Amino acid sequence: MLRSIIAGIGMYVPENIVTNNDLIKYMDTSDEWIQERTGIKERRFAHRTEETTTTMGVEAAKIAIERAGITPQDIDFIVFATLSPDYYFPGCGVLLQRALKMKEIGALDVRNQCSGFVYALSVADQFIKTGMYKNILVVGAEKHSFGLDFSTRGRNVSVIFGDGAGAVVLQPSANENRGILSTHLHSDGESAEILAMYNPGTHANHWADKNYAFFDDATIGEMFMSHSMIDHAQNFPFMDGPSVFKKAVVKFPEVIMEALQQNGYQPSDLNMLIPHQANLRIAQFVQQKLGLTDQQVYNNIQKYGNTTAASIPIALCEAWQDGKIKQGDLVCLAAFGSGFTWAGALLKW
């Protein structure tokens, strides 16, 4: 049986560091509030015109490809996860294919927000296991700084997010003791509007009975994008933070236990848990609930904020670069986010 192994991993974060105190110039907030609620001290923001979600993905991909010992021309499939694409369409996958002068291979974009990278990894894993492809590039990248409301009105969302990218190259291995052991994908659309960016979109207020704040003006629903939407700041993400928190602390442990149990393991067997960097308080809650030690969980949200689809590959890459993940280690990736969707992957490094 073939298994997918991570043959190369890379990450890229923009140079520009934005501290909590820097945000005070734009909104009524404080370093204390942000650190206490989220654990975040600083995040990176991309160069406004010279960097995009794709260009950051390209930088991470170059490192992953080099570390896999191959060239961009050896890649035979791309899966690109993001919620902040360069264009509404086409997706970032084709822009990356062009930028890296790859062959005319397939390029698939995944729009699963915070769980996007684990979903993308799972898709790639199926193609490797069936023998269809031999070198799949999986990327998670975000340029959040371009699409957030940095006034006091949007502070509950905008202080949380940062920019960056991570990438892995998946290859087949006949060694059953290495690679991705299983992936687990879930969704519950009942709460789709709790963490969402409604506009621009084709909803035409169709889901207005869900009674979320962005549906208050009937005329807005008649348009894909209107002046009124911009005037009312309805082109920015909406988040009911406490509701997200409550669901996340249930679903994170659930999917981690599902992955462990399916493979005959328990939390104490884990060498490293890489949780999606949503909020340090969520990660700490999950750690406590599963009885994991500090050495078993890797967090870097303090430095980068929540980078959504990029957060897991960035954290995984950093943990590996720091020598915290070694060959043979049991590693769990787990994510939860908008949709709601949540996902887990268990692998032997």
CB 299 within 8 A of CB 314: no
Nearer to ligand ACO, 271 or 284 (CB): 284
* Sign of the Cα pseudo-torsion (225, 231, 236, 241, in order): negative
Between CA 169 and CA 71 the distance in angstroms is 11
In angstroms, what is the minimal distance from the CB of 70 to ligand ACO?
32
Rounded least distance, CB 197 to ligand ACO, Å: 12
CB of 175 to ligand ACO, least distance (A): 34
Residue with the CB atom nearest ligand ACO in the bound state: 241
CA distance 150 to 135: 40
Task: Select which of 92, 114, 317, 332 is catalytic.
Answer: 114
Would you say 175 or 288 has its CB closer to ligand ACO?
288
Q: Which two tokens stand for residue 39?
A: 């654990």
332 DSSP β-pair partners: 273, 346
Q: For residue 291, how far is the Cα from the chain centroid?
A: 25
Q: Residue 255: which of 278, 243, 273 has the closest Cα?
A: 273
Is 75 within 8 Å of 135 (Cβ atoms)?
A: yes
One-letter amino acid identity for 99? A
Residues that bind ligand ACO in the complex, under the rule CB under 6 A: 29, 33-34, 37-38, 114, 155-156, 159-160, 195, 241-242, 244-245, 248, 278-279, 282, 306, 336-337
Query: Does residue 232 carry a catalytic annotation?
Result: no
Task: Name the catalytic one among 20, 276, 299, 300.
Answer: 276
Residue 63 CB, nearest approach to ligand ACO (Å): 25
Nearest approach, Cβ of residue 20 and ligand ACO (Å): 9
Select 161 or 349, whichever has its Cβ closest to ligand ACO. Answer: 161
Q: Rounded to whole angstroms, how far apart are CA atoms 319 and 343?
A: 20
What's the min distance (Å) between Cβ of 237 and ligand ACO?
Answer: 9
The b/e string for 41-70 (b: 16+ C-beta within 10 A; e otherwise) is bbbbbbeeeebbbbbbbbbbbbbbbebbeb
Nearer to ligand ACO, 278 or 334 (CB): 278
Is there a catalytic annotation at residue 47? no
- CA–CA separation, 305 vs 297, rounded Å? 17
Name beta bridge partners: 19.
Answer: 42
Please report the DSSP string for 221-273 in residue order.
GG-SS-HHHHHTTTTS-EE-HHHHHHHHHHHHHHHHHHHHHHTT--GGG-SEE
Q: Which helix (H) or strand (E) holds 158?
A: helix 155-158
Task: Indicate the residue among 36 and 231 with the shorter CB distance to ligand ACO.
Answer: 36
Q: Based on CB atoms, which residue is closest to ligand ACO, 29 or 205?
A: 29
Catalytic site residue from 279, 306, 317, 332:
306
Comparison of 134 and 247: residue with beta carbon closer to ligand ACO:
247
Structure tokens at 239: 């988040």
CB of 86 to ligand ACO, least distance (A): 21
Query: Catalytic annotation on 271?
Result: no
Residues designated as active site: 114, 276, 306
